[in-house]
Structure 1
């Protein structure tokens, strides 16, 4: 018989207590939010002091997860606003995002580092590792790693690949980007109406190894409407992209390939995100793995204390765990990434990812009888930070 209770890992956490600085979390309150959704505020005592946080346990047989987003990919909004707009009963912030720019005259786009899938629809791909924001990636991980839920309704941590092409009568060009603030060197990326009106110049700045590399001097943009090239430009443009229109942006060798296209040429553009392991994701958000098969990954940062947000899955994928811990205050010290992995394991997660932290860490909840989700943690900025995306929790 399948247990109706989320799995526990008290023995694993006891080991963490001996080897680390954590002691078991104590709940200050707990209770069901909706069928299959349970909220528990907690306090953890560490060698750095007390840490306050929130745990949301979601039974995916009785509730569901989905992507929170502000509409346009190149945009930001606060977690409670995104949750209320989608009718979620709870939400946490999601992936790291393009929060700043070192290129003169180029605005930060606000778009996320990693992939996004919402309702089975591919929204965007991942930027090169050298162009990401956030702590260093653990060995063996990449910007294409995600936390999500498959079409089988099971939560998991996995990887995505972009398999795409632009096919013309002259040949086929490989696509290496989908609605991304940074393209791989020599690559071609696709921008759709979901990108929004933000300029596409940022996609040709930086390099595979560094965000600070100057913007490329070799660029080309091609506008395709209903499968036909209608315009070409030497530099990426800005402005809303109408439905039925796609914009191809190339840099270096990718720009040279696009220069072979002329107005009137027919082009078939097909970008697609593919899961590295079955089944396909119905919902996915970028994050870097910190827990795999019940064990923290090697090399996780064990020095910097900060507010943290994380998402995990039970071994069978039935239960999802969303965690936010506060930090940078007199009442909550924050955690290291290594401590966060141990914490997720103690709650029952077998696999987990680290999401954006610091001032972005936000937990919003609409309790029983309440009209709207509100912030329940203490954001270190003193107020919720607008973020690129989040994870929403919904009743079935």
Structure 2
């Protein structure tokens, strides 16, 4: 799918990217014939395992194939109920009755650069669950995870529209704060990091975690000190009810919005007085699709229209999670590598793109990997999910969100 004019390719770039992977083939795990053994998880959901010869040794992959043409099948975002919280994938899937799932976006996992500031656990990119926009993307420089491929941003998403078709897109925040003092753009929605000089909105979807982290770092340097010029205003029923010089913590009531400003944004919020009417507006705007999204989460693209993105890393191998799109968005391929010691070398991102293409994907998207990589599914005869791969950390890592697969014949 041709997405943006940002995809600049040359014949040399494409040939170089794929020549490094020449000869790589997927080997089916089990039958002597080499054909993968396919297990039916539920209506429209199948599972198989594959061995992948790679530059750093054999990787072992677990693959779920989701037939979105099946009327009983759907996918949605799994999350613990708030943005700034985490739980194991098996717990997230079990709580929602999903028949399968894989871990999702990269996230704010640590805060060693900011003493006294706790990691929020919130994800990097935009997130939509059951048609509801949960959050927007942090600035590129505030991202956790490996370096983004050239031309990609934290606003990139994998989404499934109300038309039940999966696609790659970008979701940007469009919002404003309006009062008698003026109209100011909204720079964030339930994000662990706000752009310098901006105002961010936090709703009940955020949770009870401190909002201080949102004012730390800069748009280009995640480790930069926290801002010393901050201000917070609480809006309830369209009016200012309280304010503070530093971001607070604690749950936010439904219908209440907390505005956090840093630098210029803080100076603007100081103009608001208690009791003053304030009008808030925010939404996530798709870059290419006019079809509303029912589900979306962040990561980054690695395959576009059957070709790898330029500049994909082909040196650093790791345990990976990825999702592919095939058949015009009607089929999803969820891939999780095995983190057992024998396979822990994993794949490079360039090898992930190649693998997803070999599996039949036209577009592919990389999700969080390493200790986060987890695939779960209901085994035949069971009514609860179990972990299919071996997490590289020895146990499931709590994550902020996941892709949930539902099948209800």
The TM-score, its normalising length taken from structure 1, stands at 0.94
Residue of structure 2 aligned with 1:338, choices 345, 350, 357? 350
Q: Which of 35, 45, 58 pairs up with 1:50?
A: 58
Q: What is the deviation of 1:280?
A: 2.0
Q: Which residue of 1 aligns with 2:90?
A: 80
Q: Select 1:224's aligned residue among 206, 230, 235.
A: 235
CA contact (8 A) 2:155 2:171 kept: yes
Q: Name the residue aligned to 2:33.
A: none
Conserved 8 A contact 1:141-1:289: yes
- TM-score calculated relative to the size of structure 2: 0.91
Contact 1:306 1:328 in 2 (8 A): no
Shift of 1:244: 1.2
SS at match of 1:316: helix
> In the alignment, what sits opposite 2:370?
358
Contact 2:158 2:167 (8 Å CA) reproduced: yes
Q: Supply the RMSD in Å over aligned alpha carbons.
A: 1.6
Find the aligned partners of 1:328 and 1:252 in 2 and give their Cα distance.
47
2:100 corresponds, among 80, 90, 112, to 90
How far has the Cα of 1:269 moved from its partner? 1.0
Q: In structure 1, what is the equivalent of residue 3 of structure 2?
A: none
**More displaced, 319-328 or 150-159?**
319-328
Task: Provide, for residues 306-349 of structure 1, a one-character-per-residue CA deviation record: whole Å limited to 9, x for no partner.
Answer: 10000121151100111011247224531001000001111111
Aligned position for 2:318: 306
- Aligned equivalents of 2:108, 2:327: Cα separation in 1: 32
Alignment correspondent of 2:155: 144
Give 1:274 deviation, angstroms.
1.0
Alpha-carbon shift at residue 43 of structure 1 (Å): 1.2
Unaligned 5+ runs, structure 2: 1-13, 31-36
1:171-186 map, 5 Å: 171-186=182-197
Partner Cα distance (1:37, 1:17) in 2: 33
- From 43, 46, 65, give the equivalent of 1:35: 43
- Change in Cα spacing, 1:17 to 1:40, as seen in structure 2 (3 Å) is farther
- Measured in 2, the distance between the counterparts of 1:98 and 1:212 equals 12
Question: Does 1:295 find its partner at 2:325?
Answer: no
Aligned partners of 1:21 and 1:46 also within 8 Å: no
Deviation at 1:69, TM superposition (A): 0.4
How many residues were matched structurally? 383
* Correspondence for 2:297: 285
Aligned to 1:5: none
Q: Which stretch shows the higher mean deviation, 209-218 or 313-322? A: 313-322
Q: Counterparts of 1:52 and 1:165 in 2: how far apart (Å)? A: 47
**Counterparts in 2 of 1:246-285, with a 5 A limit?**
246-278=257-289, 279-285=291-297
Aligned mates of 2:182, 2:87 — CA distance in 1: 41
Aligned position for 1:64: 74
- Asked if the contact 2:176–2:186 (Cα under 8 Å) also holds between the matched residues in 1, the reply is yes
Return the offset for 1:369: 2.2
Q: Indicate the SS of the match to 2:177.
A: strand
Q: 1:157 matched to which residue of 2?
A: 168
Map 1:96-115 to 2 at 5 A: 96-101=106-111, 102-115=113-126
Mapped contact 1:328–1:334 kept (Cα < 8 A): no
Unaligned runs of 5+ in 1: 1-11
Counterparts in 2 of 1:251 and 1:21: CA distance versus 1, 3 Å: farther
99, 117, 135: which one aligns with 2:128: 117
Aligned to 1:24: 26
Partner of 1:271, secondary structure, is strand
What corresponds to 1:4 in structure 2? none
Separation of aligned partners in 2, 1:129 and 1:33? 38
Distance 1:315 1:173 in 2: 43
